[in-house]
Amino acid sequence: MIKIAAAYLGTALTMLALDAVWLTQMSPRVYQPRIGELLAEKPSLPPAVAFYLLYVAGIVVLAVLPALREGGWRRLLVHAAVFGLVAYATYDLTNQATMKTWSTTITLIDMAWGTFITTVSASAGFAAARWVLAR
């Protein structure tokens, strides 16, 4: 159980830190100019919290724990990258398919970001869980 808690905490803290920097730095530069009319003035906290809780659980269950059980770093990196790409692509490509205005640039940037942040966050969770197991 401690391994799962360490994996979750390491993943969550890393993801929150990276996403906070990303969103504060990139929103005015990338998102606002392209989809500003769609953005809320202030994010709603309950759905944001729900997203992070669920998404981090997905990373841990689908990437970190299988890598701890079976495959190590290579498996972790592949599963995390695929999960991040697919999750962010689902959001962005659905928006692009269903909204009158959605930027292809946003879709491509988000898919790259999702792949990156998920892989780095999963790596932190994996390292935290391995550190706890080694103690």
Tens digit of each residue's pLDDT, the chain (135 residues): 999 999 999 999 999 999 999 999 999 999 999 998 898 988 899 999 999 999 999 999 999 999 999 979 999 999 999 999 999 999 999 999 999 989 999 999 999 999 999 999 999 999 999 999 988
State residue 135's pLDDT score: 84
Q: Retrieve residue 23's tokens.
A: 């969103």
Nearest residue to 55 (alpha-carbon basis) of 84, 78, 13: 84
State residue 23's pLDDT score: 94
Alpha-carbon gap, residue 106 to 33, rounded angstroms: 10
Please answer whether residues 96 and 104 qualify as being in contact, where contact means their C-beta atoms are separated by less than 8 angstroms. yes
Alpha-carbon gap, residue 91 to 125, rounded angstroms: 24
Alpha-carbon gap, residue 71 to 56, rounded angstroms: 20
Alpha-carbon gap, residue 61 to 4, rounded angstroms: 9
State residue 107's pLDDT score: 97
| Sign of the C-alpha dihedral computed for residues 117, 118, 119 and 123 taken in this order | positive
